[in-house]
């Protein structure tokens, strides 16, 4: 039997979950859309963002500095990864890219495990966002409410970069036809480096912002990677609006299914993905993208 | 006869050897060690040299990684103590001098990630390639059940690591498997009366249950026991192992009107779900109970176990009552730098008991070692005397009830719990046939 307060609670929770998934997925999809690289180390980037922020928090006890440090560290890591390894794989088969990024993800996880062990690490939310807020129809953790707002701002910023700046224009043009962009005298490979950095930063930012919600462990990115891929497939590989739509859909499916039978939450998520793939092979808002 | 042998050209040395063999043969019936020496499993190939190999599989990644590492440390300390003839090992296995039956123990470690297929593959490799004479590991009952089956098929003894499911020595028990820590139902029988005493009768309970054999049997055991005191289940939230987020489950719990949240989750799942229960205000609305305590949960949740009851195998402060626990704590802390939790204790004691049984049998021959266990001999452990039941190979041992200390009462940074009761195992333990145990054959 449906309990309306519970349904509304779960719908709202689905929104909060979905917002986070949308942010992580947007990073993944920007990288794929522009560079044609399916980055299986994206979950590890999310995890490293959390740990880098955790270290910064240990020294400064400032959550804002933790967020900045976590995001920047992962952005630099992304740029370094692109320059040193990924750029050699742009013209290689997808399988090679998948294997190399998967391997990098494993290396990152093991390095973090070596440094921090498997024990959980805690990053508390900033003092102003601690406690629980009464929304009238439900009580909800204040920090999770804040996360929805923070993620919305971050997605807005990404949108502006992609759709209202010259860099964004080049990136979007690069998605359509990188050869043409190159022939116009624009160094697409430098753009690619920046894109990889921005995509990685989205994951790192999500990792540290999400850290107070979960407890950090080296394997935290493994779970999120699977969900992120489902989101990207539902929304459309390479589509930024698709990542947001897919994230929200995935969040709602997980939450609402959990109200009836939590055990089927992932079953329903994958069923939805399959349905989308059957009806719209390129995802709900997908574009053809690079071949 | 001697003349005949000499006439056939037997040397003096050969004669002495033959005579010694005949004398040895005359006492065979008194020594079960040599009663059946035909090859079985990895015996005698695995112990033909000066060493004996043990295959260890513990989760070093995934949701049970922290507990797996602790368990591994317990195994490593036990092996070190056995090989060096440490005083603590001698208290549990008096015949152990250096190594087991004079054989130095070697071991290999594999990461099971708490996944049955990975554990089975790794142990199969240890048996085939290293001729492992014993396999061990756990930290997931699904793994324990899978290794039970492997051990029975391969005829190699499996000394179970952490596993709380009723099935491990219940419906999935095997002749070749032995478990030192107790049934989920034993934990329920121990902590249930404490809960009724503390919270009253006729309460409403919400459960968080991990979706595999351990979770389902512990939840069922708690439900069955608490029903006798008029408790009802208002919701049972079943989550997959390693769920990344518990918010949806916790909203259902928050809206359920429960008085008590019984969190059956384990490992990082328990840490995450408890932290998020706090974030969602669930712990302000209802009491929390962790029926099968999770090693490290108190430190990992940063104090959320304060005032929370749990049933457990071991807590280090019992060293005031048990001298062997004190010896263990000191040796463990000296080597690893922290107080051991029950994963390490379970691993150490299980190994020490296996060494004892091999020494008693006078052989690594699996059927002989099994029969030594099945004598049901009273054995020392870190929590007092215990014994293994011949029918299901389950160790009968006390259960500790602990309650999380308030921060102001903590005497040091690892003083997380008060030991409220040490409940003797005899009165708690279910009958050997209660969960349908039918162990297989010896050979």
Q: What is the pLDDT of residue B185?
A: 82
Which structural domain range is residue A98 located in? 22-218
**Residue reference for tokens 């003349």:** B3
Q: Which residues in B have their CB inside 8 Å of a CB on A?
A: 60-63, 65-66, 69, 211, 237-240, 242-245, 247-249, 251-252, 254-255, 268, 271-272, 275-276, 279-281, 284, 296, 299-300, 302
Is the Cβ of A254 closer than 8 Å to some Cβ of chain B?
Answer: yes
Tell me the β-bridge partners of B311. Answer: B292, B401
Q: What is the CA radius of gyration of chain A?
A: 19
Tokens of B386: 């215990």
Residue A184 neighbours by CB under 8 Å, 6+ apart? none
Q: What is the pLDDT of residue A175?
A: 66
SS3 B256: coil
Residue A99 lies in a domain: yes
Span B250-254, average pLDDT? 90
Q: What is the pLDDT of residue B243?
A: 82
If you count them, how many residues does chain B have? 443
Q: How far apart are the first and last CA of chain B?
A: 38
Task: Return the closest-CA partner of residue B221 out of B240, B195, B239, B198.
Answer: B195
Classify residue B406 by its DSSP letter. P
**Residue B12: pLDDT above 50?**
no
Q: Which of A211, A217, A267, A268 to probe by mutation at the B interface, max B CB count within 10 Å?
A: A217
Q: At what angle do helices A188-210 and A63-84 cross, to 10 degrees?
A: 140
Residue B159 neighbours by CB under 8 Å, 6+ apart? B134, B135, B136, B178, B180, B350, B351, B353, B354
ipTM of the complex: 0.83
Tell me the CATH class for B185-316: alpha beta
A262 vs B contacts (CB less than 8 Å) = 237-239, 248-249, 252
Is the CATH number of domain B51-183+317-397 3.40.50.10170?
A: no
Scanning every residue of chain B, which has its alpha carbon at the shortest distance from the alpha carbon of A225? Answer: B244
User: Which backbone phi and psi does B404 adopt, to 5 degrees?
Assistant: -60, 135
Q: What share of chain B is helix, strand, coil (3-state, %, to 5)?
A: 45, 20, 35
| Interchain contact, B254 vs A118, CB within 8 Å | no
The whole-angstrom separation of Cα B374 and Cα B372 is 5
> Which tops the pLDDT comparison, B81 or B428?
B81
Scanning every residue of chain B, which has its alpha carbon at the shortest distance from the alpha carbon of A137? Answer: B255
B324 neighbors B154 (Cβ within 8 angstroms): no
Scanning every residue of chain B, which has its alpha carbon at the shortest distance from the alpha carbon of A4? Answer: B255
Q: Which of A214, A222, A254, A270 to probe by mutation at the B interface, max B CB count within 10 Å?
A: A214
B246 vs A contacts (CB less than 8 Å) = none
Q: In what order do the strands lie in the sheet with B399-404?
A: B232-239, B204-210, B260-263, B287-292, B309-312, B399-404, B417-423
Classify residue B183 by its DSSP letter. P
Q: What is the pLDDT of residue B20?
A: 43
Return the minimum-mean-pLDDT range out of B162-166, B313-317, B344-348: B162-166
Span B20-42, average pLDDT? 54
Q: What is the pLDDT of residue A288?
A: 56
Q: How many structural domains is chain A composed of?
A: 1
The whole-angstrom separation of Cα B320 and Cα B178 is 29
Residue A109 lies in a domain: yes
Q: What is the pLDDT of residue B63?
A: 86
**Residue B41: pLDDT above 80?**
yes
| Interchain contact, B245 vs A214, CB within 8 Å | yes
Name the residue ranges covered by the structural domains of chain B. Answer: 2-37, 51-183+317-397, 185-316
Q: What is the pLDDT of residue B433?
A: 82
Task: Return the closest-CA partner of residue A203 out of A239, A229, A174.
Answer: A229
User: Cα angle at B378 between B372 and B379, to 5 degrees?
Assistant: 85
Q: What is the pLDDT of residue B30?
A: 41
Write the CA distances from A4 to A79, A255, B238, B254, B285, integer angstroms: 48, 14, 21, 14, 20
The per-residue DSSP string of A87-120 comes to GGGTTS-HHHHHHHHHHHHHHHHHHHHHHH-SS-
Scanning every residue of chain A, which has its alpha carbon at the shortest distance from the alpha carbon of B208? Answer: A262
Return the minimum-mean-pLDDT range out of A165-179, B89-103, B375-389, B405-419: A165-179
CA B352, B356, B359, B361 torsion: positive or negative? negative
Residue B14 binned pLDDT confidence (cut-offs 50, 70, 90): very low
| Interchain contact, B280 vs A132, CB within 8 Å | yes
Q: What is the pTM of this model?
A: 0.84
Task: Determine if residue B430 is left, alpha or beta; phi over 0 gives left, psi from -120 to 50 gives alpha, anything else beta.
Answer: beta
**Residue B29: pLDDT above 60?**
no
**Residue B321: pLDDT above 50?**
yes
pLDDT in tens, chain A (291 residues): 567 777 888 898 899 899 999 999 999 988 888 788 889 999 999 999 999 999 999 999 999 999 999 999 999 999 999 999 998 988 888 889 999 999 999 999 999 999 998 888 989 999 999 888 988 877 889 999 999 999 999 999 988 988 899 888 887 787 677 778 878 888 877 888 888 999 999 999 999 999 999 889 998 998 889 999 999 999 998 888 999 999 999 999 998 888 888 778 889 999 999 999 999 988 998 865 444
The whole-angstrom separation of Cα A75 and Cα A90 is 19
Tell me the β-bridge partners of B109. Answer: B56
Q: What is the pLDDT of residue B42?
A: 85
Q: What is the pLDDT of residue A277?
A: 92
Q: How far apart are the first and last CA of chain A?
A: 48
CA distance A219 to chain B (A): 6
Q: What is the pLDDT of residue A177?
A: 75
| Identical topology for domains B51-183+317-397 and B185-316 | yes
Residue A265 lies in a domain: no
A129 vs B contacts (CB less than 8 Å) = none
Q: Where are the alpha helices (DSSP H) in B40-110?
A: 65-84, 87-92
Residue A243 lies in a domain: no
SS3 B82: helix
Q: What is the pLDDT of residue B38?
A: 82
B62 neighbors B113 (Cβ within 8 angstroms): yes
Q: What is the pLDDT of residue A259?
A: 81
Span B251-274, average pLDDT? 92
> Which tops the pLDDT comparison, B160 or B443?
B160
Residue A213 lies in a domain: yes
Is the Cβ of A134 closer than 8 Å to some Cβ of chain B?
Answer: no
Task: Return the closest-CA partner of residue A212 out of A19, A64, A81.
Answer: A64
Q: What is the mean pLDDT of chain B?
A: 88
Classify strands B204-210 and B177-179 as parallel, antiparallel or unpaired: unpaired
Please name the member of B237, B247, B302 whose beta carbon is closest to the beta carbon of A17: B247
CA B166 to chain centre: 13
Tokens of B160: 């179970």
Task: Determine if residue B396 is left, alpha or beta; phi over 0 gives left, psi from -120 to 50 gives alpha, anything else beta.
Answer: beta
**Residue B401: pLDDT above 90?**
yes
Please name the member of B61, B239, B252 whose beta carbon is closest to the beta carbon of A259: B252
SS3 B40: strand
Q: What is the pLDDT of residue B55?
A: 95
Q: Where are the alpha helices (DSSP H) in B200-255?
A: 213-227, 247-254
Scanning every residue of chain B, which has its alpha carbon at the shortest distance from the alpha carbon of A20? Answer: B245
The tally of CA atoms less than 13 A away on the side-chain side of residue A189 is 9
B304 vs A contacts (CB less than 8 Å) = none
User: Which backbone phi and psi does B3 adopt, to 5 degrees?
Assistant: -60, -45
CA A72 to chain centre: 15
Residue A6 lies in a domain: no
Task: Return the closest-CA partner of residue B313 out of B301, B325, B323.
Answer: B325
């Amino acid at each position: 039997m449906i309990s309306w307060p519970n349904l509304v609670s779960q719908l709202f929770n689905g929104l909060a979950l979905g917002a986070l998934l949308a942010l992580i997925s947007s990073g993944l999809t920007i990288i794929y859309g522009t560079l044609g690289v399916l980055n299986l180390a994206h979950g590890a980037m999310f995890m490293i963002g959390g740990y880098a922020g955790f270290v910064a928090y240990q020294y400064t006890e400032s959550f804002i500095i933790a967020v900045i440090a976590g995001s920047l560290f992962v952005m630099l890591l992304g740029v370094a990864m692109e320059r040193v390894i990924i750029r050699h794989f742009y013209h290689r088969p997808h399988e090679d890219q998948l294997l190399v990024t998967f391997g990098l993800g494993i290396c990152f996880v093991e390095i973090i495990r070596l440094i921090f062990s498997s024990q959980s690490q805690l990053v508390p939310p900033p003092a102003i966002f601690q406690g629980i807020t009464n929304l009238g129809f439900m009580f909800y953790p204040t920090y999770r409410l804040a996360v929805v707002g923070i993620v919305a701002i971050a997605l807005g910023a990404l949108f502006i970069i992609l759709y209202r700046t010259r860099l964004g224009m080049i990136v979007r043009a690069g998605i359509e036809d990188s050869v043409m962009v190159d022939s116009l005298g624009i160094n697409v490979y430098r753009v690619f480096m920046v894109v990889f950095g921005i995509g990685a930063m989205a994951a790192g930012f999500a990792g540290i912002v999400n850290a107070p919600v979960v407890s950090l462990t080296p394997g935290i990115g493994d779970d999120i990677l699977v969900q992120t891929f489902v989101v990207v497939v539902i929304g459309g590989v390479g589509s930024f609006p698709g990542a947001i739509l897919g994230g929200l859909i995935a969040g709602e499916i997980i939450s609402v299914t959990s109200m009836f039978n939590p055990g089927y939450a992932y079953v329903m998520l994958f069923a939805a993905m399959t349905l989308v793939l059957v009806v719209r092979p390129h995802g709900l808002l997908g574009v053809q993208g690079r071949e | 006869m001697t003349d005949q042998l000499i006439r056939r050209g037997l040397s003096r040395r050969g004669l002495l050897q033959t005579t010694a063999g005949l004398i040895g043969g005359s006492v065979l019936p008194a020594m079960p060690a040599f009663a059946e020496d035909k090859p079985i499993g990895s015996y005698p190939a695995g112990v033909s040299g000066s060493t004996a190999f043990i295959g260890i599989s513990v989760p070093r990644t995934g949701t049970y990684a922290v507990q797996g590492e602790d368990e591994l440390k317990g195994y490593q300390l036990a092996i070190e103590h056995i090989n060096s003839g440490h005083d603590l090992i001698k208290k549990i296995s008096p015949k152990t001098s250096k190594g087991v039956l004079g054989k130095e123990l070697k071991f290999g470690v594999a990461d099971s990630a708490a996944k049955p297929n990975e554990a089975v593959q790794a142990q199969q490799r240890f048996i085939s390639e290293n001729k492992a004479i014993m396999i061990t590991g756990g930290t997931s009952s699904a793994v324990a059940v899978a290794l039970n089956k492997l051990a029975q098929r391969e005829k190699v003894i499996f000394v179970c690591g952490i596993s709380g499911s009723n099935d491990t020595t219940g419906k999935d028990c095997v002749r070749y498997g032995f478990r030192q820590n107790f049934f989920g139902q034993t934990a329920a029988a121990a902590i249930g009366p404490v809960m009724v005493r503390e919270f009253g009768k006729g309460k409403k309970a919400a459960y968080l249950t991990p979706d595999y054999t351990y979770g389902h049997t512990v939840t069922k055991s708690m439900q069955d026991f608490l029903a006798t005191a008029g408790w009802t289940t208002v919701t049972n939230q079943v989550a997959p192992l390693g769920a990344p987020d518990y918010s949806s489950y916790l909203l259902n719990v928050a809206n359920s009107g429960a008085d008590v949240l019984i969190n059956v989750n384990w490992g990082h799942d328990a840490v995450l779900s408890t932290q998020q229960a706090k974030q969602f205000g669930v712990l302000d609305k209802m009491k929390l109970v962790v029926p099968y305590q999770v090693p490290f949960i108190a430190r990992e949740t940063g104090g959320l176990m304060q005032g929370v009851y749990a049933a457990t195998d071991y807590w280090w402060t019992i060293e005031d009552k048990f001298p062997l626990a004190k010896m263990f704590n000191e040796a463990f802390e000296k080597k690893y730098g922290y107080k051991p939790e029950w994963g390490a204790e379970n691993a150490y004691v299980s190994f020490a008991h296996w060494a004892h049984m091999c020494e008693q049998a006078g052989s690594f021959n699996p059927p002989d070692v099994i029969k030594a266990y099945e004598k049901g001999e009273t054995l020392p452990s870190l929590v007092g005397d215990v014994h293994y039941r011949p029918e299901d190979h389950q160790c009968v041992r006390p259960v500790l009830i602990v309650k999380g200390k308030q921060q102001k009462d903590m005497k040091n940074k690892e003083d997380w719990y008060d030991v409220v009761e040490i409940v003797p195992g005899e009165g708690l333990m279910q009958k050997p046939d209660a969960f349908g145990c039918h162990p297989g054959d010896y050979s």
